[in-house]
A and B are shown apart, each in its own frame.
Chain A
Amino acid sequence: MSAPALGATVAKAAAPLVNWAGLGKVLGLAVATALIIGGGFSLGLAALDVYAQSREARQTRPGRTAVAAAPGGVRHASLVVAVVLFALCAGAVLIGLIEAPSSK
């Protein structure tokens, strides 16, 4: 029997025994984690960097190379976005910790 045929036979035999819904949940949660926590934390860091750069630019002393400071509104909005996204990540982690270990 060829390898693909053997694989197909094994997969067919295994199919009724496998908890596909469970595996689907694991995959779904992994992708959701990537988007919510991975994406959220990265975007939060990016926003925090915008805020930090803007602050540093405002505090640059005369004679030093200055980076263009973002307008005050942008600076504050960046901080708010960062805080909200970090809070979202923390919330997602807490929900995961509370929900996941409890028995089925």
Chain B
Amino acid sequence: MDTKLLVIGILVAFALTFDFTNGFHDTANAMATSIATRALPPRVAVILSGALNFVGAFLGLTVAATIATGIVDNKVVTTTTVFAGLVGAIMWNLLTWLLGLPSSSSHAIVGGTVGATLVQAGPAAVKGSGILSKVLVPAMASPIIAAAGAAIAVWLAVRLTRRNRSEFLSRGYRAGQIVSASLVSLAHGTNDAQKTMGIITLALVANGSIARSAGTPLWVVLACASAMGLGTYVGGWRVIRTLGRGITEITPQQGFNAETISSAVILVASHLGFAVSTTHVTSGSVLGSGLGRGAPVRWSVAGQMLVAWLVTLPAAAAFGGAANSVARAIGGFPGVAITAAIALVVFATIWALSRRQPVSAHNVNVPIPVGARTALAMERGGAAVAA
């Protein structure tokens, strides 16, 4: 068999693996608050989210174009470069999932691709202005915008409903959360599935399989939508726990408003071609909703998240660069195959480490002990107890 075709096959498999990790890492974005407020049972939440992510992936391709053309010079990018970028992104996604940190899959894929391209062709091949204008500035601005919107919405909601019965309101907001969480899932599908579509399109262009001016092939859209939907269904319970319970105690009122603002920001940003991180947007909304109600915020967890956000781009770039260095040092198809094998061993090790302190649908809502420094810590009686 043609080795070029084998390399493309490995690359597409890793791209879909990335999409899967993106889905299960980011289930939290849509469903964490609904699960935390018990608006939806955990299993029902992830099934609904998976289905809507699948549908959302078909709703537009503006972000795919941003990733495929706006970050690096695709004339110098080879299939090995794209593959190495994916390895870096998956590595970072799995590490942050292990720690229960809702970091950005979007930044991971951009960082991985940039790192691999730097090793491949040097700094000239990286479009600094594209990264700044299409990725970094929206990434910094979007959580602030989301936090402001959610704070305004919750502040307003608290004042409009202060004379009403809290039990009645909770029931109403929980019902509203089914719609608002569904909207976030749909928005996530439109934004995030497209990033992998862009990456596969970039690889197909690099391989000469499709013309530079060609759009995203339908089979790529279908495969990415399926991988994203499946990953979402599996559910990244560790990140769901952090976002749903770790930042602030969420009421149904906050959950509804945070989700509504998140979906609005993600949908509008997708429409404008900004590759915003749904993680940043939803984290900003959750934080803003806490501030709007005057609820206590667990700043230690928020601080850990902020550090993860800042480190994501360089860390994924370092992993991507390292993967490309190994692949290039060995060269050709063996280089890609051996790098893939090493990566799979590391991924399996991270998975095995996560089993030491499992978080699942059964214990995702166990309260966090007072004074705990991590959202993965659980009060005694939960399925796992952190040190």
Q: Are B148 and A31 in contact (CB under 8 A)?
A: yes
Cβ of B146: which chain A residues have Cβ within 8 Å of it?
A: 30
Interface flag for A84 (CB, 8 Å): no
Chain B, interface residues (CB within 8 Å), range:
35 or more
Cβ of A22: which chain B residues have Cβ within 8 Å of it?
A: 272, 274
Q: Are A34 and B271 in contact (CB under 8 A)?
A: no
Given contacts A30-B148, A38-B257, A103-B61, contact A17 B132 (CB under 8 A): yes
Contact bitstring B43-84, A, C-beta under 8 A = 1, else 0? 000000000000000011110000000000000000000000
Cβ of A42: which chain B residues have Cβ within 8 Å of it?
A: 156-157, 160-161, 253
Contact bitstring A25-47, B, C-beta under 8 A = 1, else 0? 11101110111011101110110
Q: Are A100 and B271 in contact (CB under 8 A)?
A: yes
Q: Are A38 and B156 in contact (CB under 8 A)?
A: yes
In the bound assembly, the distance between CA atoms of A29 and B268 in angstroms comes to: 8
Cβ of A50: which chain B residues have Cβ within 8 Å of it?
A: 164
Which residue of the partner chain, among A17, A26, A39, A101, contacts B133 with CB atoms under 8 Å? Answer: A17
Q: Are B160 and A104 in contact (CB under 8 A)?
A: no
Cβ of A45: which chain B residues have Cβ within 8 Å of it?
A: 161, 164, 168-169, 172-173
Given contacts A17-B133, A33-B261, A33-B264, contact A101 B164 (CB under 8 A): no
In the bound assembly, the distance between CA atoms of A64 and B137 in angstroms comes to: 61
Given contacts A39-B153, A41-B256, contact A14 B271 (CB under 8 A): no
Cβ of A17: which chain B residues have Cβ within 8 Å of it?
A: 129, 132-133
Q: Are B272 and A104 in contact (CB under 8 A)?
A: yes
Cβ of A103: which chain B residues have Cβ within 8 Å of it?
A: 60-62
In the bound assembly, the distance between CA atoms of A35 and B156 in angstroms comes to: 8
Q: Are B133 and A34 in contact (CB under 8 A)?
A: no
In the bound assembly, the distance between CA atoms of A30 and B268 in angstroms comes to: 9
- A30 → B minimal CB distance (Å): 3
- A55 → B minimal CB distance (Å): 12
Q: Are A41 and B137 in contact (CB under 8 A)?
A: no
In the bound assembly, the distance between CA atoms of A12 and B256 in angstroms comes to: 38
Q: Are A39 and B59 in contact (CB under 8 A)?
A: no
Q: Are A30 and B160 in contact (CB under 8 A)?
A: no
Cβ of A46: which chain B residues have Cβ within 8 Å of it?
A: 160-161, 163-164, 169
**Which chain A residue shows the least CB distance to B169?**
A45
Q: Are A30 and B165 in contact (CB under 8 A)?
A: no
Interface flag for B101 (CB, 8 Å): no
Interface flag for A87 (CB, 8 Å): no
Q: Are B261 and A101 in contact (CB under 8 A)?
A: no
Cβ of B342: which chain A residues have Cβ within 8 Å of it?
A: none
Given contacts A49-B168, A101-B60, contact A34 B141 (CB under 8 A): no
Q: Are A38 and B164 in contact (CB under 8 A)?
A: no
Interface flag for A6 (CB, 8 Å): no
Contact bitstring B148-172, A, C-beta under 8 A = 1, else 0? 1110111011001101110011001
Cβ of A52: which chain B residues have Cβ within 8 Å of it?
A: 168
- B61 → A minimal CB distance (Å): 7
- A sample of 10 more A-B contacts (CB under 8 A), given A37-B260, A38-B257, is A14-B137, A18-B132, A18-B133, A22-B274, A30-B264, A35-B156, A48-B168, A96-B264, A100-B190, A102-B60
| Residues in chain B within 8 A of chain A (CB atoms) | 59-62, 129, 132-133, 137-138, 141-142, 145-146, 148-150, 152-154, 156-157, 160-161, 163-165, 168-169, 172-173, 176, 179, 183, 186, 190, 253, 256-257, 260-261, 263-265, 267-274
* Residue contacts A-B, CB under 8 angstroms, 17 given: A23-B141, A26-B265, A29-B264, A30-B265, A31-B149, A34-B156, A35-B156, A38-B257, A41-B157, A42-B157, A42-B253, A45-B164, A49-B164, A49-B172, A96-B267, A100-B270, A101-B59
